[in-house]
Copies of this chain bind each other. A is one copy, B any other.
Amino acid sequence: MERDLIRWLRQRLPPHPLLRLGPGDDAAILKMANLGDCVLTIDMLTDHVDFELSKIDPRLAGRKALAANLSDLAAMAARPLAGVVALALPRQGAMDLAVAPCEGLLPLAQQYDLAIAGGDTNSWDGPLAISITLLGAVTNRGPLCRGGARPGDRILVTGSFGGSILGRHLTFEPRVAEALLLNERYELHAGIDASDGLSLDLNHILEESRCGAVVKTEAIPVADGARRLAETLADGSTPLDHALGDGEDFELILAAPPQEAKKMLSEQPLSVPITEIGEFIADPGLWQIDASGLRRSLAPRGWEHT
């Protein structure tokens, strides 16, 4: 079946200047001359955890797997180069289950000029698992890491947060172009994509930057989905709770010095809004401050990779 999938893929893959040899050999060959630093990231998405295969178009599983990986490149402000895809496929209908995720991810790959360089398929008695590795190029502005935030830097975010489980987690647009544009035009100190949850991912920046942060809760852009989810669940959780902890928003969380943040906020160079939601501080710890000025500890929460 792997040979059939390779044949199918070879017919559909547009030629790519990076690929000296595409799918079908033991490895793909990439023309890497004149490239500087690269980034390498791997993500595995699994049935019943990252999607419910029985309830969705299986193409969306493939699309999400690639989009989540692209979001990691966005978090590093890296330009997509090439990707490889491995599939663990339930034996029943394995070929269809291999083709559909590919159909879902190929348009996204093309949109981001990503070369699909190769892959691996395996049938088994387990559920569907999709593992994608992406190689990206660091631009001449350098990469964006988690470890560069400094006290006084503003916390900026793209888009809005919460309730992505209602659908957006399958259809989101990774902020690749946005990250490249912002990193090119402004001085950014740190960045991450909000995959685990706004408060938890912000905390990842704090851990690597060895600093703290105060979040103005009333400034957090709460997604419509967060409001709808709070209403639907009616479990006492607020839209803000969902914005802080749901995860899979795949928006950018950035650290920028005050003057740069001011420029970004007034220029708003993206089609999606940029919002300032707080400030990094020297003392460790994550804090929230509400409209009344009350400052309380904010427990980072979201998706733990347990």
Chain A interfacial positions (CB closer than 8 Å to B): 1-3, 20-21, 24-33, 35-50, 72-73, 75-76, 78, 82, 84-88, 91, 94, 117-127, 129, 131, 133-136, 138, 143, 145-147, 192-193, 208, 304-306
Contacts and interface: CB of A to CB of B under 8 A. Distances in A.
Given A2-B305, A129-B88, A306-B94, A27 B44 contact: no
A26 B41 contact: yes
Contacts of A30: 37-40
B122 A27 contact: no
Contact of A126 (B3, B129, B145): B129
Contacts of A94: 306
Given A32-B32, A120-B305, 7 more contacts: A1-B306, A26-B192, A29-B38, A33-B36, A40-B82, A126-B127, A129-B129
A256 B73 CA distance: 41
Given A24-B208, A94-B306, A125 B48 contact: yes
A42 B84 contact: yes
Interface of chain A, main secondary structure: strand
B76 A40 contact: no
Question: Which of A44, A86, A129 has the most C-beta atoms of chain B within 10 angstroms of its own C-beta?
Answer: A44
Contacts of A1: 304-306
B27 A124 contact: no
* Number of copies of this chain that the complex holds: 2
B82 A122 contact: no
A2 B303 CA distance: 11
Contact of A131 (B41, B42, B75, B117): B42
A38 B138 CA distance: 16
B25 A86 contact: no
Contacts of A129: 44, 88, 124, 126, 129, 131
B305 A44 contact: no
A25 B147 contact: yes
Given A44-B129, A48-B125, A136 B39 contact: no
A124 B44 CA distance: 11
Contact of A41 (B28, B37, B88, B134): B28
Contact of A32 (B35, B43, B123, B193): B35
22 contacts: A1-B306, A2-B306, A21-B143, A25-B147, A26-B72, A27-B75, A28-B39, A28-B41, A30-B37, A30-B38, A31-B37, A42-B84, A42-B86, A42-B133, A44-B86, A44-B87, A44-B88, A46-B124, A49-B124, A121-B305, A122-B305, A129-B129
